Every structure is written in structure tokens, then in C-alpha cells.
Structure 1
Amino acid sequence: MNLKNTLLFTSLVLVLISCTNDSTNDLTEPLDINQTVKFSSVQSIMQNNCNNCHGNPTSGGAPISLVTYNEVKAAVLESDLIGRMSIENGGDGLMPEGGPRLPQTTIDVVIKWQADGFQE
């Protein structure tokens, strides 16, 4: 993991651990559109927010695992993972289940990973 990815990951973790505000405007810096997002960045988001239920094995009734590259890519392409993450607080189907909704900048990492061609 290069220094930029490490800094991005550290920033995301600190924000997710320390913030309880549902406003996403002031949580993190906008994603650098010039940097390619690799799976390691998306994997850390899954580990910190999804794998309690969507681990291997799954728990709490989660239908799919979001641990490996292929699982997460398939969830984006076939199970509307980004759409489920993007539902507003209180909306049916919001992931993580029960909310709160992840900051938009965190969701943007997954969106950019897809736009960048699912880089490993």
C-alpha cells in the first residue's frame, strides 16, 4: 500500500471511529479524482463497516460475503452494493443495516473503484 492509500485509509478510519454527526459535508476531504482507487482501499471500508455481518461466514442473516475482491466486485455489479450504501438514513435497505449511512466520501471511494475499472 503506498503512502497516499495509507493516508486515505487512516483518515477514513479516524473519521468513522470519531464522528457521530450524520452530516457528511465536513467529515473528510473530497476524493482525489486523479488517484486510482485500488481494492485495498475498498477492502478496508468493507472490513470496518460491513464484515461484521458480511464476513466469511456471514452472520445476522446477511446473504452474501464481502471479504474477497470477487465478492465485492460481484456485489457492486449484481447486488446494487453502492445503491444500498447510498440510501438515506432511515430508508429501507440501508447498509450498514440500521445505519447511520456512511459518509458520502466513503461511498465515493467505492464508486471511484468501479469507475476506475475495479483495480486490484
Structure 2
Amino acid sequence: MKKSLIYFLTMTFMVVVASCSSDSEEDLVPTDDDPTNGTVTYEDNISSLIGGSCLGCHSSPPTNGAPFSLTTFSDVESRASGILTAISRQTGEPRAMPPGGRLPQSTIDLVDAWIDQGTPEN
């Protein structure tokens, strides 16, 4: 009985390992899939990011010592480069935002692309 169980577990492990491998280069190389289709707008991309990561403190009125509000497009647009600087800092650096930890690089890249495209609203 014990040998059968060991054999079964070994074979199961081998099947799982074999199924996790891939010979397809498409699976290994990042694709150019871009959910924004190259266009980043405040309405479609940035507003939800600000809502989820910034409005806890940068609401109207600001709380937790935040010096300004980020509740409108105008608020965010006028501070876009400062926002990019703050979210690009490493966790623990002075004025790194958000205080709970650095945002994913893909999010930072999205804000950077929005600024590069002239901060379009919609």
C-alpha cells in the first residue's frame, strides 16, 4: 500500500511538472498586448488609479496631512509631474506615495504615458 501511494504521488508530481513547462516562445516572451490601445486618458485610466491609491488622503478636504486635493481632473492634471515623481520613489524615501507601499511599475508607466501624451481628459 505504501509503495503504491509513493508511486502515485511521484507520477502525479511528474505530470504536474511536465504540464507546467512550455516549448512555445509565445508563452515566454512578453507580447505587445496593450489594453489602452496606446492611448491613456484621465477618464479611462488615471481617475480610477487616483481613486484607489490617492483619495484616502488627497480627498476634499485633504486628510492625514495631505497638502492638497486630487478629486478633479484639474487637480490631477496640474500636479501630474509631481504625482509621477512621488509614485516613482522607492518605499521609505521621503514623500514616496502612496505611504502604504510603492505602486506596481506598470501603474507608474501608465501615469508616465499619460503625461507623455499631454494629460488628455477623455
Calculate the TM-score normalised by the size of structure 2.
0.66
Q: Which has the larger radius of gyration?
A: 2
The corresponding residue for 1:35 is 38
SS at match of 2:79: helix
Contact 1:31 1:108 in 2 (8 A): no
Spell out the pairing of 1:2-17 with structure 2 (5 A cutoff). none
RMSD: 2.0
Structure 1, unaligned runs of 5 or more: 1-28
The corresponding residue for 2:53 is 49
Aligned amino acid, residue 37 of structure 1: V
Structure 2, unaligned runs of 5 or more: 1-30
Spell out the pairing of 1:60-79 with structure 2 (5 A cutoff). 60-77=64-81
Counterpart of 2:63 (choices 59, 63, 85) is 59
Aligned amino acid, residue 81 of structure 1: I
CA shift for structure 1 position 90: 1.5
Contact 1:31 1:109 in 2 (8 A): no
Which has the higher relative contact order, 1 or 2, with Cα contacts under 8 A spaced 6 or more apart? 1
The corresponding residue for 2:17 is none
Calculate the TM-score normalised by the size of structure 1.
0.67
1:100 equivalent to 2:105? Answer no
Aligned amino acid, residue 94 of structure 1: A
How many percent of aligned residue pairs carry the same amino acid? 36
Query: 1:83 and 1:89, CA in 2 relative to 1: closer, same or farther beyond 3 A?
Result: same
Query: 1:57 and 1:30, CA in 2 relative to 1: closer, same or farther beyond 3 A?
Result: farther
The corresponding residue for 1:14 is none
Instruction: Identify the structure with the greater helix proportion.
Output: 2
C-alpha separation in 1, matches of 2:89 and 2:54: 15
C-alpha separation in 2, matches of 1:106 and 1:91: 18
* Count, aligned residues: 89
CA shift for structure 1 position 45: 0.4
Aligned amino acid, residue 70 of structure 1: S
